[in-house]
Amino acid sequence: MLLGAHLSIAGGVDKAFDRAEAIQCTAFQIFTKSNRQWKAKPLDEKTIARYHQRQAETGIKPVICHASYLINIGATDDTVWQKSVDALLIELERCESLGIPYLVLHPGAHMGQGVDAGIARVVQALDLVHDRLPDLSARVALEITAGQGSALGANFEEIARILNETRQSDRLAVCFDTCHALAAGYEFRTPDTYEAMIAEFDRIIGLDRLTVVHVNDSVNDLGSRVDRHAHIGEGCIGLEPFGFFLNDPRLKHLPFLLETPKDDDPGDDIRNLEKLRSLVRE
């Protein structure tokens, strides 16, 4: 099973493999740069080579990248939108140099201008990025959001609109986040509601689009539209529902990645991974 966590790149992106081995990850997620800064020092050839060497030595893949939280390609403000597009281009190029297949991206926020205006800007940005990087194999994976504030992508229909309206739609994928889905109003905490939710996702988006699952419990309950992650089994989702995802044969090929709090690092990740592993049926 592909199971891991979001890990630090302190000391260099290649150092994440050491941390992954220490907590027995079979996949993991990273930022390739500071997620709180627009600019980043380019990855040098030695760092890239060390990264590929460590990946070959450990055999851990896929590695997934999460885009900077500063990026908002749904912005109607031209300055913010252009900075976001430029940053997205850089992030995808960094993924490409490291052989990272997916860059998880929050679709953005319309900042009070309305869903239609926000989605139009997202589509415009993705089309521009795809045109600028025609030969790139790294793909954007749009993440389902909790719908906090004016965040786009809090329902399957909005994600589907972006996918359908982007010219090179085949270059896009989707990331499902358990905390975000519950907060956005999707019930999946019983076997029946889980099946109904997965069927709805498949009908509207398509399970073939799903490439990454973020496994996070939620501090807030169904429909709260608040994005606040909790440790596995300690929030409003509870422990058992994570087993529905982990044991679903339709999802067995996907990486399941923690983005839970790290008050005790790596102890929190170790405990959360143990809880998830305990749910996996042989």
Full 3-state SS string of 189-247:
CCHHHHHHHHHHHHHHCCHHHEEEEEECEECCCCCCCCCCEECCCCCCCCCHHHHHHHC
Read off the CATH number of the domain in which 106 is found.
3.20.20.150
pLDDT tens profile 140-173: 999 999 999 999 999 999 999 999 999 999 999 9
Residue 282 predicted with pLDDT over 80: no
Tally of domains within the chain: 1
Q: Does residue 12 sit within a domain? A: no
Residue 213 predicted with pLDDT over 80: yes
pLDDT category, 40, cuts 50, 70, 90? confident
Instruction: Count CB atoms within 10 A of the CB of residue 206.
Output: 12
Active site residues: 36, 66, 69, 106, 143, 177, 180, 214, 227, 229, 259
Do 103 and 67 touch, CB atoms closer than 8 A?
yes
Question: What mean pLDDT, rounded, does the chain reach?
Answer: 97
Q: Does residue 207 sit within a domain? A: yes
Q: Does residue 58 sit within a domain? A: no
Residue 36 predicted with pLDDT over 90: no
| Range of the structural domain that residue 225 is part of | 69-263
Q: Does residue 258 sit within a domain? A: yes
pLDDT of residue 11: 95
Q: Does residue 77 sit within a domain? A: yes
pLDDT tens profile 189-211: 999 999 999 999 999 999 999 99
Q: Does residue 247 sit within a domain? A: yes
CA distances from 241 to 6, 72, 118, 201, 253 (A): 21, 31, 33, 17, 19
For the full predicted model, state whether its pTM sits above 0.75. Answer: yes
pLDDT tens profile 237-261: 999 999 999 999 999 999 999 999 9
Q: Does residue 190 sit within a domain? A: yes
Q: Does residue 88 sit within a domain? A: yes
